[in-house]
Amino acid sequence: MVTYRKAGVHSKRDAAHFHSIEAAEPADLARLQEERLLEQLHYLRDNSPFYQAKFLEAGLQFGDIRGIADLARIPFTLKQELRDSLQASPPFGLHQAAPLADIIQMQASSGTTGSPSYVALTEADAQTWQESQARGLFACGVRPGDFTLHAFSMSKGFVGGVPVFQALQYMGAIDIPIGADGGVERLLMACENLKPRVVIGAPNFLIYLAEAAQAIRRHPATDFGVARLVVGGEPGGGIPAIREKLSALWGAKVCELMGGTDLGCIFWGECDHQLGMHMVAPDYVLVELIDPESGAVLKMEQGARGELVYTALGRQASPLLRFRSGDHVVVTGTACPCGRTGPMIRCFGRTDDMLIVRGINVFPSAIQDIVGSMQPETAGVMRVLADFEGHTTQQNLKVYVERGPACAPAAASDLKAKVEARIRSALAVKVDAHIVAPDSFEKPGAAKVALVLRQRPDLKSESGDS
């Protein structure tokens, strides 16, 4: 049964973890995951026409999968398959595996890479989401009793809205439910009047919110007394330059979280040791790391880089097997002083965003990291212009960079050369940098920041190029 607040949650305020499973011995966890995987497969065999057809096409029987070691025999589930499934049988697709009468809630992806994906939840699924999110938020430093300013979007069914509100309520925190769509002035007023200990939102938007504080409330964001920023929803939380800027603007510690609409809102969270994000819901989500080119499973060890693949455990309404997330990560470690077990990760890009420049894979977030590290010469704001078909080009990549307010327009040509040299040195790709005035691009709002533009912006370059 779904509850507003987990029983006894205030006793967890000084606990090391929200749930003991986060610190389980790897062997014990593997046994539990194997049991839950087999239960999920039995459920899909009886309730999912989508996976019945997928297994049949692959020449597999559900009984062929006897444990985690056999998981690689199951074909990946791709995002396009889910889009096709949703179109074939709206609103929840052919992969709906629970009766409509049992579904109590629907959520949606942000739709930044296409039409929004609608996800169904039964009562048990909703309970799982709340528990998983609470663990991630707790890892990031949110505690029962904390006033938490909600600065993710609260509208359009986005999972950062209602589900995060529900999770904060479930874990005993007090959500201030304004949302990015409530407007900067109202959010800042709430900061001033209510003094939240925590602010949660997208990193670029929280930078903009802090920068607006002086003009709107007549004092810096550091005066609000915020102790913790919890960020997610877009690249940035793991980018050092953005993290340092957030911390300086707010005078607060920054922790990052991550999840995915198709499996749950939050299931990765970063602890105070800040060595990477922990998988906090291994009893609900089984994770694999694969080589994005070959699809081969990689060992989760320090320094390993690859794409995350997820399998739901115990999911009823919209369960997925071996779902390719598109999230490209590096494993930053396998042991943490906090006691949580399993690997820690940083996400450095998404398949949907990746561009191929003369055969070299480039993530826009990597360019953002470089431009951000060049402040105050730059404003830390950039956009990539992908004015070509698809994701591949043989030309120099065009990058628009806002100069810093203290950087004179006359220095734009020198800054252009510096940006181009820094990106070439770090990423081994040539770019044509166009230096533009500060505040050329729209400030972040309720939607995620799109680092890639498909049409040339109507901006005057200050660096002498056309």
Q: What is the residue whose two structure tokens read 């400030």? A: 443
Out of 330, 350, 370, a domain closes at 350
Largest CA distance in the chain: 70
- Evaluate if residue 155 carries a pLDDT over 80: no
β-bridge pairing 305-312 and 285-290: antiparallel
9 in a domain, yes or no? no
Show which of 314, 332, 350 is a domain's final residue.
Answer: 350
Number of domains in the chain: 2
Statement to judge: residues 277 and 393 lie in one domain: no
Residue 407 structural domain: 355-453
Q: If you average pLDDT over residues 372-380, what whole number do you get?
A: 90
Claim to verify: residue 382 and residue 238 sit in the same structural domain: no
**How high is the pLDDT of residue 241?**
85
Please check whether residue 459 lies inside any domain of the structure.
no
Rounded to an integer, the average pLDDT of 11-27 is 96
Say yes or no: 359 and 346 in one domain: no
276 and 364: one domain? no
What is the arithmetic mean of pLDDT over 212-220?
92
Examine residue 3 and state whether it is found in any structural domain, yes or no: no
Which amino acid would we find at residue 4? Answer: Y
Query: What distance in Å separates the CA atoms of residue 273 and residue 136, rounded to the nearest whole number?
Result: 14
Q: What pLDDT score was predicted for residue 110?
A: 58
Assess whether 376 and 342 both reside in one domain: no
Tens digits of per-residue pLDDT, 379-437? Answer: 989 899 988 877 778 889 999 999 999 888 888 899 999 999 999 888 888 899 999 99
Side-chain half-sphere CA neighbours of 354 within 13 A: 15
Give whichever of 117-121, 240-244, 320-324 has the largest mean pLDDT: 320-324
Residue 15 lies in a domain: no
Same domain, residue pair 174 and 39: yes
Q: By CB neighbour count within 10 A (0-12 exposed, 13-18 middle, 19+ buried), where does 445 fall?
A: middle
Check whether residue 72 and residue 206 sit in a common domain.
Answer: yes
CB-neighbour burial class of residue 357 (10 A; exposed 0-12, middle 13-18, buried 19+): buried
283-322: pLDDT as tens digits: 999 999 999 999 999 999 999 999 999 999 999 999 999 9
Together in a domain, 341 and 402: no
The pTM score is 0.85
Residue 5 lies in a domain: no
% pLDDT > 90, the chain: 69
Looking up residue 99, the CATH number of its domain turns out to be 3.40.50.12780
Distance between CA atoms of residues 207 and 372, nearest Å: 12
Same domain membership, residue 359 and residue 343: no
CA separation for the pair 228, 137 (Å, rounded): 11
Residue 189 has pLDDT above 80, yes or no: yes
Does a structural domain hold residue 464?
no
Q: Point out which residues pair with 315 in neighbouring strands.
A: none
Show which of 326, 350, 374 is a domain's final residue: 350
Using the predicted structure, report yes or no on whether residue 442 has a pLDDT greater than 70. yes
| Same-domain check for residues 346 and 229 | yes
Structure token digits, residue 254:
């920054």
Q: How far is CA 9 from the centre of its chain?
A: 26
pLDDT given for residue 195 in this prediction:
96
Range with the largest mean pLDDT of 116-125, 140-149, 175-184: 140-149
Tokens of 125: 């699924």
Q: What is the arithmetic mean of pLDDT over 455-465? A: 81
Let me know whether 368 and 330 are in one domain. Answer: no
pLDDT of residue 225: 97
Q: Does residue 114 fall inside a structural domain?
A: yes
Spatial CB neighbours of 293, under 8 Å, sequence gap ≥ 6: none
Residue 183 and residue 462: Cα distance in Å, rounded? 32
Residues 402 and 271 in one domain: no
Distance CA 265, CA 233 (A): 10
Residue 115 has pLDDT above 70, yes or no: no
* 13 domain residue, yes or no: no
Q: Are 17 and 23 in contact (CB under 8 A)?
A: yes
CA distance 245 to 52: 49
The CATH number covering residue 445 comes to 3.30.300.30
